[in-house]
């Protein structure tokens, strides 16, 4: 193990569920002082598989088993260097099996009390290592573990915010940002596809404002709406209003969700969306690019509402559909 933020992508590991331990948490779990753990890592290369971008140690379950065995071997009088050599010659499975035989294996590790924080860190580690396999595992683990809206709000949004901050400080490259977007986007689309057969009614059009290439919130909204049985038409990012209006016309959509991460110009005008002779369209806008009080021109033919979060976007769109 080299202590980089690359995981052992081949092993079914705690990283799959996104749960990683800090050095002090491992110290508590295995009753070895944190200073000894750091020394085993620095001097003997028996340490964590993961590092945060800030270079803090993060131990997976396999790492903890290596530490447990190291503690057992040194406790039996083997010098640390010799114990480490034994461990370096063993696979993760062998380490676990030996720990089990020795009666020190742990299946009850209380991994990170704040379970919503650790997976976000694992996502950042995978982004920083540009590791799509690890990224997929972590994201799938999160999605399996809790409802989608909760995964989004408690894990993915904090991870995306942190990734944006790291990028703006020059600590993470665009390649990492793209990787997380690609993998998260693919997994969210997978959720939507799984629900596709249940969807009914006219579609809700999902798109991002002109020249705004951010669209992950559209993908999560599509997935949550599909879980509510709502049909959607995903038009993706950066949509000119005239083209959006053409799509409304052709699909007979009565609701549009419009995302903007980047600040919108004052000249924004959604009136092209109004279709003569039809009841008013509902346009739900969301994202930090919009003012909380939509400053778009009032129009009787287009009702504009602002959604502050995923849940309110879903509620506003479901309410608008009930009125249709
Ligand atoms: C991923 C990402 C990208 C990806 C987008 C890929 C994709 N398919 O979407 C790529 C690499 C393409 C990209 C490009 C750029 N990006 Co960018 N990007 C991000 C990042 C990391 C996540 C974006 C995201 O999905 N956010 C969505 C949610 C997670 O965050 P939020 O908008 O803050 O959400 C809040 C609310 O909106 C609400 N909410 C959360 N989820 C939901 C869901 C719904 C449905 C609703 C209604 C509300 C809601 O709750 C949050 C509470 O505050 C952000 C970081 C960030 N802070 O968001 C930067 C960020 C948005 N990008 C930024 C920038 C500057 C750019 C670029 C200009 C960079 C460049 N030099 O190329 C380009 C823009 C190109 C363009 N014209 O659009 C800046 C924007 C700063 C600003 N305000 O102007 C940010 C904030 C990064 C930063 N810290 O500086 N980006």
- Rounded distance from Cα 237 to ligand 1 centre (Å): 12
- Listed residue (189, 175, 92) closest to 132, CA to CA: 175
Question: Is the shortest distance between the CB of 264 and ligand 1 below 6 Å?
Answer: no
Same domain, 183 and 124: yes
What pLDDT is stored for residue 294 in this prediction? 65
Question: Is the shortest distance between the CB of 315 and ligand 1 below 6 Å?
Answer: no
- Rounded distance from Cα 261 to ligand 1 centre (Å): 5
Question: Is the shortest distance between the CB of 182 and ligand 1 below 6 Å?
Answer: no
H/E stretch holding 209 reads strand 200-209
Cα(221)–Cα(206) distance, integer angstroms: 8
Q: Which residue has better confidence, 248 or 323?
A: 248
CATH number at residue 38: 1.10.1660.10
- Rounded distance from Cα 66 to ligand 1 centre (Å): 39
DSSP3 helix / strand / coil % (the chain, rounded to 5): 50, 15, 35
H/E stretch holding 74 reads helix 61-75
Range list of H helices, 196-238: 216-227
Residue 182 to residues 101, 219, 269, 293: CA-CA distances in angstroms?
42, 11, 31, 32
Same domain, 309 and 215: yes
Same domain, 77 and 145: no
Same domain, 279 and 215: yes
Is 112 a domain residue? no
Is 110 a domain residue? no
Same domain, 134 and 29: no
Return the residue whose CA atom lies nearest to atom 48 of ligand 1. Answer: 309
Give the domain extent around 22. Answer: 14-101
Contacting residues for 33 by C-beta, under 8 A, at least 6 apart: 27
- The predicted model scores a pTM of 0.74
Question: Is the shortest distance between the CB of 234 and ligand 1 below 6 Å?
Answer: no
What pLDDT is stored for residue 119 in this prediction? 83
Same domain, 183 and 205: no
CATH number at residue 160: 1.10.1240.10
Same domain, 223 and 285: yes
Q: β-pairing, 281-286 with 255-259?
A: parallel
- The per-residue DSSP string of 85-110 comes to HHHHTS-HHHHHHHHHHTT---S---
Same domain, 182 and 133: yes
Question: Is the shortest distance between the CB of 286 and ligand 1 below 6 Å?
Answer: yes
Question: Is the shortest distance between the CB of 289 and ligand 1 below 6 Å?
Answer: no
Highest mean pLDDT among 63-67, 220-224, 261-265, 298-302: 220-224
Cα(244)–Cα(273) distance, integer angstroms: 7
Q: β-pairing, 281-286 with 302-307?
A: parallel
* Closest ligand 1 atom number to CA of residue 218: 45
Question: Is the shortest distance between the CB of 288 and ligand 1 below 6 Å?
Answer: yes
Beta bridge partners of 209: 239
What pLDDT is stored for residue 112 in this prediction? 36
- Asked whether the beta carbons of 20 and 60 are under 8 A apart, the reply is yes
Cα(112)–Cα(50) distance, integer angstroms: 15
Is 8 a domain residue? no
Is 305 a domain residue? yes
What pLDDT is stored for residue 279 in this prediction? 77
Domain count, the chain: 3
- Listed residue (233, 239, 234) closest to 251, CA to CA: 233
Same domain, 235 and 280: yes
Cα(284)–Cα(313) distance, integer angstroms: 7
Task: Write down the residue that tokens 């690359």 correspond to.
Answer: 6
Q: pLDDT by residue (tens digit) across 15-33?
A: 444 568 888 888 877 778 8
Question: Is the shortest distance between the CB of 162 and ligand 1 below 6 Å?
Answer: no
Q: Which residue has better confidence, 191 or 49?
A: 191
Confidence bin at 4 (pLDDT 50/70/90): very low
- Asked whether the beta carbons of 49 and 94 are under 8 A apart, the reply is no
Residue 140 to residues 90, 148, 207, 245: CA-CA distances in angstroms?
28, 11, 25, 36
Contacting residues for 231 by C-beta, under 8 A, at least 6 apart: 199, 200, 201, 202, 203, 204
Q: pLDDT by residue (tens digit) across 189-247?
A: 999 998 888 777 889 999 999 999 999 999 999 999 999 999 999 999 999 988 999 99
Q: Which residue has better confidence, 58 or 314?
A: 314
Return the residue whose CA atom lies nearest to atom 52 of ligand 1. Answer: 309
Choose one of 75, 101, 127: the last residue of a domain: 101
Q: pLDDT by residue (tens digit) across 137-194?
A: 889 888 888 899 999 999 999 999 999 999 999 989 999 999 999 999 999 999 999 8
Question: Is the shortest distance between the CB of 164 and ligand 1 below 6 Å?
Answer: yes
Cα(209)–Cα(244) distance, integer angstroms: 9
């Amino acid at each position: 193990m080299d202590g980089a933020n690359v995981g052992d992508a081949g092993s079914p590991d705690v990283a799959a569920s996104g749960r990683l331990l800090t050095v002090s948490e491992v110290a508590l779990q295995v009753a070895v002082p944190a200073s000894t753990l750091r020394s085993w890592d620095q001097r003997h290369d028996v340490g964590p598989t993961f590092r945060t971008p800030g270079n803090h140690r993060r131990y997976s379950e396999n790492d903890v088993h290596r530490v447990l065995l190291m503690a057992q071997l040194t406790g039996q009088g083997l010098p640390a260097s010799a114990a480490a050599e034994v461990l370096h010659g063993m696979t993760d499975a062998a380490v676990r099996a030996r720990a089990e035989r020795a009666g020190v294996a742990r299946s009850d590790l209380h991994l990170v009390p704040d379970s919503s924080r650790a997976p976000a860190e694992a996502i950042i580690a995978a982004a920083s290592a540009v590791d799509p396999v690890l990224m997929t595992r972590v994201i799938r683990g999160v999605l399996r573990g809790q409802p989608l809206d909760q995964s989004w709000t408690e894990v993915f949004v904090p991870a995306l915010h942190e990734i944006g901050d790291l990028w703006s400080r020059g600590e993470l490259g665009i390649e990492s940002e793209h990787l997380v977007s690609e993998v998260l986007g693919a997994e969210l689309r997978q959720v939507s596809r799984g629900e596709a057969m249940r969807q009914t009614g006219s579609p809700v059009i999902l798109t991002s404002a002109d020249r705004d290439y951010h669209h992950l919130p559209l993908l999560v909204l599509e997935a949550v709406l599909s879980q509510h049985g709502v049909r959607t038409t995903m038009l993706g990012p950066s949509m000119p209003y005239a083209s959006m209006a053409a799509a409304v016309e052709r699909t007979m959509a009565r609701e549009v969700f419009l995302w903007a991460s980047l600040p919108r110009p004052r000249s924004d005008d959604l009136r092209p969306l109004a279709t003569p002779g039809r009841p008013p369209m509902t346009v739900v806008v969301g994202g930090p690019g919009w003012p909380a009080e939509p400053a778009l021109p009032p129009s009787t033919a287009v009702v504009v509402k602002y959604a502050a979060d995923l849940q309110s976007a879903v509620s506003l769109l479901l309410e608008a559909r009930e009125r249709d």
